[in-house]
A and B are shown apart, each in its own frame.
Chain A
């Protein structure tokens, strides 16, 4: 290949490779600095000006409004504690201690970030409304069919994501003391 004949090929290759690298980098979580606790993952740096360019791009493409560091911390789960992807054809038990926060909510989303239609029009549970045992721990049933007690409807689409938001978390993103943070476990039950 000689002279300028190679230029268009090189330009197209650069465009394709560069765009593919950008698309690949936007898959998965927003940027670097992920903190994993059990099935849950958080990206604390997205809540302040230390956010990296990849996280900024990922959040812009998602169209999300992440929490600021002093607003709270959001933890996302795409799989249960055994590592299997969350699937609404199965029932899940989300149980354990509440995160150290003034208030928390647990919400189910489609993989594209939309709330999941369900007959009860209930999309989330909050710490103020959840029923607890004598020790303060809670058990939430996430399932398509109605359950007594703490029921989080999952809707019909199979793949889903859970987000646990710890508002005004006492272990803040500023402190970086995540090892002391307790989060509930996600256990898969029977599947239909």
Chain B
């Protein structure tokens, strides 16, 4: 009995250590779970734009043949894509894949209908936009290239051989704009605005001068 009494402080100390251990034990797991939650949150936010099935690129452009421009249906109450469509805007879309060569966009506004062009990556980032008031005669000539293709074009121009830039300059009145894309794939959107409800078909017709074409890479 006296031996047991003499050991009481040791037992009490052991009991305290046990409680401390129990209190501190889950903390690494809680911190690990929080760290994992932050990682999952950031990964999903970064991955959603390219993986989400209703993202604009996946719904509107992923299955388009390269170089083909497609007019989207006129928005109405039955339309499901794209969401938040403006019923006064006629949209045409073409897809690009720069691994197959540079893409040239050509368009000419008719002057009566506001017109604009935007170039977007697969995750929806808009890397270029312009409207017909910013270009001479409302004409666009945009060559979308990778940095390597831009370097090859510069080298070809320095050596005096034909390049897509020179070809464009020779057959168009507008200076071609070279756009170096940070991504290989994406899509371009042409937007023609009808001024009034009954004007929509005319606006769609005005877009007939829109062209997307895959250029032969500079050698």
Whether A18 contacts B125 by the Cβ 8 Å rule is no
Cα of A10 to Cα of B31 in the assembled complex, Å: 9
Asked whether A128 lies within 8 Å of B196 as measured between CB atoms, the reply is yes
Given contacts A11-B36, A109-B84, contact A1 B25 (CB under 8 A): yes
Which A residues between 25 and 75 are near B, CB-CB below 8 angstroms?
25, 46-49, 51, 53-54, 56-57, 59-72
Would A113 and B44 count as touching, CB distance under 8 A?
no
The smallest beta-carbon distance between A178 and chain B, in angstroms, is 19
**Which chain B residues numbered 50 to 92 have a C-beta less than 8 Å away from chain A?**
50, 52, 54-56, 59-60, 75-77, 79-89, 91
Contact B116 A60 (CB under 8 A): no
Contacting chain B: which of A79-87, A91-99, A114-122, A140-148? A114-122
Q: B56 near A126 (CB under 8 angstroms)?
A: no
The reply to whether A56 and B49 contact each other, CB–CB distance below 8 Å, is yes
CB distance from A74 to the nearest CB of B (A): 8
Secondary structure dominating the interface of B: mixed
Give min CB distance, A44 to chain B, whole Å. 12
B133, A168: Cβ atoms under 8 Å?
yes
A71 and B116 within 8 A (CB): yes
B136 CB–A CB distance under 8 Å = no
User: How many Å lie between the Cα of A67 and that of B120 in the bound state?
Assistant: 11
CB distance from A99 to the nearest CB of B (A): 14
Number of residues on chain A facing chain B (CB within 8 A): 64
B63 nearest CB across to chain A (Å): 16
Question: Is there a chain A Cβ closer than 8 Å to B99's Cβ?
Answer: no
Per-residue CB contact flags for chain B residues 15-55 toward chain A (1 = under 8 Å, else 0) read 00000000001100110111111111101111011101011
Number of interchain pairs (Cβ within 8 Å): 203
State A16–B36 Cα separation when bound (angstroms): 10
Is the CB–CB distance between B41 and A18 below 8 Å?
yes
**Are the CB atoms of A70 and B41 closer together than 8 Å?**
no
Question: Which of the four size classes fits the interface of chain B?
Answer: 35 or more
For the complex, give the distance between the alpha carbons of A107 and B193 in Å: 14
Of the candidates A15, A64, A70, A123, the one whose C-beta lies within 8 Å of that of B40 is: A15
Residue of A nearest to B39 (CB): A18
In the complex, how many angstroms separate the beta carbon of B156 from the nearest chain A beta carbon?
Answer: 27
The reply to whether A54 and B29 form a contact with Cβ atoms under 8 Å apart is no
**A71 lies within 8 A of B25 (CB):** no
Is A191 at the interface (CB under 8 A from chain B)?
A: no
The answer to whether the Cβ of A188 comes within 8 Å of any Cβ in the partner chain is no
Cβ-based interface call for B217 (8 A): no
User: Are B77 and A115 closer than 8 Å at their CB atoms?
Assistant: yes
* Smallest CB separation, A5 vs chain B (Å): 10
Q: Does A158 contact B (CB under 8 A)?
A: no
Query: Which residues of chain B come closer than 8 Å to A69, judged between CB atoms?
Result: 126, 129
B119 CB, min distance to chain A CBs, angstroms: 8
Q: For residue A64, which residues in chain B have a CB less than 8 angstroms away from its CB?
A: 56, 82-84
- A180 part of interface (Cβ distance < 8 Å): no
A1 and B125 form a contact (CB under 8 A):
no
> In this assembly, does A2 line the interface, its C-beta being within 8 Å of a C-beta of chain B?
yes
Whether A151 sits at the interface, judged by CB under 8 Å, is: no
Please determine whether A18 and B36 come into contact, CB atoms closer than 8 angstroms: yes
A22-B45 contact, Cβ under 8 Å, with A14-B37, A70-B134, A168-B114: yes
Q: Does chain A have a CB within 8 A of B149?
A: no
Q: List 26 A-B contacts (CB under 8 A).
A: A1-B25, A7-B29, A10-B32, A11-B33, A14-B33, A14-B35, A14-B36, A17-B41, A56-B124, A60-B49, A61-B48, A63-B54, A63-B59, A65-B84, A68-B116, A103-B114, A103-B195, A105-B86, A105-B87, A105-B193, A115-B76, A128-B195, A129-B197, A165-B86, A167-B114, A167-B193
- Supply 15 further A-B pairs (C-beta < 8 A) apart from A22-B44, A121-B77: A6-B29, A14-B37, A14-B39, A49-B125, A53-B45, A57-B46, A57-B52, A63-B54, A102-B133, A105-B87, A115-B75, A115-B76, A115-B85, A124-B88, A168-B131
